[in-house]
Amino acid sequence: MSPPKSVNSRVVYALAGLLELAVRFKLLRSLPISKTGVKLLSLPLEFPAEKAVTELSYTPEVSFQQGIDRCMPMLEKMLKQGP
């Protein structure tokens, strides 16, 4: 069985609420995700650079993929270290 492509944000929001309670009652030391984080991640946000390019003559120094490739080692290291 393949994993779902998306998860209902209401379900994740409810789980985040339970996690917040667990942290409050010292059952967990750190919060993996908050209700606010769930709300922000479930918004349909886009950050296109076209307007900056056309109106401000902005030229990105690296491509999106190059930026991701540069960030991944740091993110992986942070995940291994934990909070």
Structure token digits, residue 56: 């401000």
Count of C-beta atoms within a 10 Å radius of residue 16: 20
Q: Which helix (H) or strand (E) holds 11?
A: helix 9-24
Look up the domain containing 31 and give its range.
Answer: 9-81
What distance in Å separates the CA atoms of residue 36 and residue 11, rounded to the nearest whole number? 14
Domain contains 1: no
Domain contains 43: yes
The pLDDT value recorded for residue 5 is 76
Domain contains 14: yes
The pLDDT value recorded for residue 83 is 58
Q: Does 3 or 22 have the greater pLDDT score?
A: 22
- Please state the domain count of the chain: 1
Count of C-beta atoms within a 10 Å radius of residue 11: 10
Question: What is the mean predicted confidence (pLDDT) over 28-42?
Answer: 93
The pLDDT value recorded for residue 72 is 93
How much is the mean pLDDT over the chain? 89
Torsion of Cα atoms, 56 then 62 then 63 then 69, to 10°: -150
Domain contains 65: yes
Domain contains 4: no
The pLDDT value recorded for residue 1 is 67
